[in-house]
Structure 1
Amino acid sequence: MDTSPHANAKSPGRRPKVRLSDVAAAAGVSVPLASRILNRDPAARATEATRTRVLEAAAELGYVPNVAAKSLRLRRNGLIGLVVHDLSSPIHLELMRGARAEAAAHAHFLVLGDVDELLQDDTSFRTFVSGNRVDGLIVQGGHGGFDERIADIAQALPTVIVNAPSRVARDRVTSVFPDEPGGTRLLTEHLLALGHTRIGLVSGPRDSTTGMLREEGFSSALADAGLSLREEDRVHTDWSSAGGRAAMIELAARWQGSADRPTAVIAGNSLIGVGILGAAPGCGLSVPTDLSVAAVHDTWISEHLVPPLTTVSLPLYEMGALAVRQLLADSPGGTEILVDDPRPQLHPRASTAAAPAR
C-alpha cells in the first residue's frame, strides 16, 4: 500500500475531489448526518439551521454526490456480485460461504465473477459492472493488475474490497481485510520453534499487496529471532499450484550442492504449498525429513495431502459476511477495516518437523 506523501497527489490543474467528510467537517456535523441531509432523507434529525449549513457547505466546496452509492439506497434488485481470482480455488470457499450467508440474511443473492476473465475480456468487464445487473460489488483486491480497474468499478457501482487494503479509489471504496502479517508471523514462529534457522519463501507476484503484507510478517518474525531472508531463498510466482511447483524446482537448483540450504519454506498460499509438496520428491527432497513446508490459508484439502500440509487460517468467512454488511449499509468510502476476530490460527500437520541435524 502506497503511503508516500505523493500517493494522493493530483495532477496539475485538476481540482482535488471534495469528499462527504469535507462537507461534514465544514458544516460541523457527522458524516452520516451530512449524507442524510444531502440526500433529502426526511428521517434525518436536524434543525433547519443545520440543514442550511450543510447545504451551503456542499455548495461552497463544490461537492458532487456519489451517484453509485445513492442508487444502491434507492433501487436494489437483490443481487450482489462477488469477484475473486480463480473461482475454482478452494481458498475462496469460506469467503463465499460468509458472503452468501450474510446476503441471504438480507434477502439478497450472490452472483460470482472471475477476476482473470474480467481482466482478459473488456466486454465481459463492461457487461458485469454496468446495466444495473447487481446492486454492488465485492472485489478481491491485493493482486496487482486488477486493482487498477477497481477505480473504474467504483465509479459505476458501490464497491467493497476484500483481502487487502485498497491502493486505489480510497475516497470511494471500503476495504475489509485480515491480519496478513499476523498469519505469516505465526507460521514463521512455528518453524523457528522447530529449530529452523534458514527459511525460504515462495511469495505471490511482486506487485501484490497481499504478498507484500505476508512477507512483512515473515520478515519481522525472522528479525525478532536475529535472522533475515536471503535473496536466493525467495521466489515470486503466481498464486497457483503450478507456480509453486516451478518455484520449488527453481529453489532446488539454486540450493544444489549447498550444505547450508534452507530446511523449511513458507508458501504464499496453500495452492503454492500443494505445488511445492508435489515437486519436492523430484528435486531429491523428502518432506518433512529434508524440508518442512507450511502455507497461508487452511482449506479442506490441506489435511488430505501427503503429507498433510501445515497451514494458518485467516477469518475469511467473517470477512465475506462483513463485506456484505458494509455494502448494504452503504458505508462511507475510504473506510479500512481489519478483521482480527478470530485471530489467525495455526494448524500444525505432518509437513513440518524438527530441523534436520547439520
Structure 2
Amino acid sequence: MSTEPSTPPQVTSADVARAAGVSRATVSFVLNDTPGARVSEATRTRVLAVAKELGYVPHAAARSLRAGRSDLVVVPVSVSAIGRLFSEWVDEVETALGRRGYTVVLHGDRTSDPVAAAQVWAQLRPAAVITVNDSRMTAEAAKVLERAGVRAVVAGAAAPVEGVFTFVGDQSEIGAAAVGHLVERGRSRIGVVMPAERGLSAFAQPRLVGAQRAADEHGVTITPLPMRYTDDAASALALLCRELELDGVFGYNDEYAALLSAAFGDHGVAVPQDIAVVGADDLVLGQVVRPRLTSIRFHLPSADLLAEAVDRLVHDGTAPDLPRVWFEVVARQSS
C-alpha cells in the first residue's frame, strides 16, 4: 500500500522568532527593514541568519496587509512584442523598483478590451501599473485601477492619457525619421517592413503611419511589406523588393532589418548601392552585421527616474513630469 509524500510544514515568522529567541514583532521589524525600529545590530544579524538557515520566505500578501498597501508593480507586456531594447529597459526598471522595495510582475494577459484588461490587472491589487505603448491604457481603464486602489497608473504613450501619469513617446516619429533619412540619401521608392508576429502591430502600425506621413511630405512612395522573422520569409521579401524596384527599406527594427539585409546579399542585391536599409533600436547587432546598420536610437526616461516617479506617486500621489522619449538617426554603412 502506497502513501502520498507529506508536504513539509511551512516555515513562518513565528518559527524564526522562536529559533532566534526574539519576539515576532522583532522578526517583522528586521525582515521588513522597518524604519525607526529599535533593533540592535547583533539581534538583526541573528534574525537574518536564522531566517536564512530555516529557509524562511516572507508572505507577500500578509506583508501588504500589514503595510496597508501592496508592493507589487504590474507591467502588462507581451515578451514577443517588446524586443531586446525594451526588454533590457524593463529589466533596468525592475531593478530600480526593487531597490525601492517593490516587486515587479510581468503580466502576459492578452485581454483586448481596456476595461476588462484593467480589471484583470486590478485583481492583483498592485501599488502601480506601468504600460508601454499599450492601447488598453485608456481613461476608462485608469478609472478602474483607481477604484481598485492602485496608487500609480503610469503609461508610455504617444499622447497624454486622462488620469494617467504619462511619459510621451510617439512611435510614429521612428517611421518618420527612418523615411526622412532615406529621402536625404536620395531614395524615393521605400518599403516598410510590417512584422507578421503576434503582438508587434502595436509598434509597427504607428511606425508605418509616421513613415507614410514623411513620405507624403517629401513626395515619395511607401510600400508596406509583411514579413515573418524567418530566413525563408526574408529571402522571399528580398526578391519581392527587387521586383518592385524599391531603393530603400525601413526594416521595423534592427533584427528584421539585419535579417532582410542578409537576404539581399544572398540574392545579389547590394546594400546600400541598390537598396538602402534602416533599422531601429540601435542594438549591438546593427554594428556586428556587414554593412553596419543605420538605425534609429531611442532616448527613454532612465529606469531610476521612472522608479522614483512611481514611488512618489504611490506615497504622495504626485511626481515631476518625466522627459519626453525622443529618437535620432544613427547613420552607418547600410544607408
**If the length of structure 1 is used for normalisation, what is the TM-score?**
0.56
Amino acid at match of 1:85: S
Render the CA deviation track for 1:147-183: whole Å, top value 9, x for unaligned: 69x93973644432225448xxx54433323243333
In 2, Cα distance between equivalents of 1:114 and 1:175: 19
Equivalent residue in structure 2 for 1:138, among 130, 151, 155: 130
1:203 aligns with 2:194: yes
5+ long unaligned stretches in structure 2: 1-63, 112-117
- Which residue in 2 is equivalent to 1:61? none
Correspondence list, 1:188-267, <5 A: 188-203=179-194, 208-229=201-222, 233-236=223-226, 241-242=229-230, 246=233, 249-250=236-237, 252-253=239-240, 255-256=242-243, 258=244, 261-267=245-251
In the TM superposition, residue 225 of structure 1 has moved relative to its aligned partner by 2.2
Name the SS of the counterpart of 1:95 in structure 2. Answer: helix
Determine which structure has more spread, i.e. the larger CA radius of gyration: 2
User: Which structure has more RCO (C-alpha within 8 Å, separation ≥ 6)?
Assistant: 1
Instruction: Tell me the distance in 1 between the aligned counterparts of 2:70 and 2:101.
Output: 8
Q: CA deviation at 1:101?
A: 5.6
* Match for residue 295 of structure 1 among 259, 269, 279: 279
After superposition, the Cα gap between the structure-2 partners of 1:86 and 1:275, relative to the gap in structure 1 and judged at 3 Å, is farther
Q: Cα RMSD between the aligned structures?
A: 4.2
Deviation (angstroms), 1:297: 1.4
- Contact between 1:164 and 1:210, CA under 8 Å: does it hold in 2? no
1:216 alignment partner, SS class: helix
User: 1:179 and 1:151, CA in 2 relative to 1: closer, same or farther beyond 3 A?
Assistant: closer
> Does the C-alpha gap of structure 1 residues 227 and 89 become closer, same or farther in structure 2, counting only changes over 3 Å?
closer
Superimposed CA distance per residue, residues 122-150 of structure 1 (whole angstroms, 9 cap, x where no aligned partner):
xxx98875344x422212334x6x669x9
Aligned length: 255
Which residue identity lines up with residue 249 of structure 1 in the other structure? A
Taking a change above 3 Å as real, the CA distance of residues 315 and 110 of structure 1, as seen in their structure-2 partners, is farther
Counterpart position of 2:76: 83
Tell me, yes or no, if the aligned pair for 2:178 and 2:250 is still in contact at 8 Å: yes
Match of 1:269 among 228, 246, 253: 253
* Structure 2 CA distance for partners of 1:246 and 1:339, relative to 1, 3 Å: farther
Partner of 1:279: 263
2:101 pairs, out of 86, 98, 108, with 108
Asked whether the 8 Å contact 2:255–2:285 carries over to 1, the reply is no
Q: Percent identity?
A: 18
Change (3 A) 1:273 1:254: closer
Distance 1:95 1:264, change over 3 A: same
Residue 173 of structure 2 aligns to a residue whose secondary structure is helix
Matched position secondary structure for 1:162: strand
SS in 2 for 1:81: strand
Q: Which runs of 5+ in 1 are unaligned?
A: 1-70, 353-358
Aligned to 2:156: 162
- Is 1:330 aligned with 2:313? yes
Kindly indicate whether the alpha-carbon contact (under 8 Å) linking 1:287 and 1:307 is maintained by their aligned counterparts in 2: yes
Task: Tell me how far apart the structure 2 counterparts of residues 141 and 75 of structure 1 sit (CA, whole Å).
Answer: 31
Contact 2:238 2:264 in 1 (8 A): no
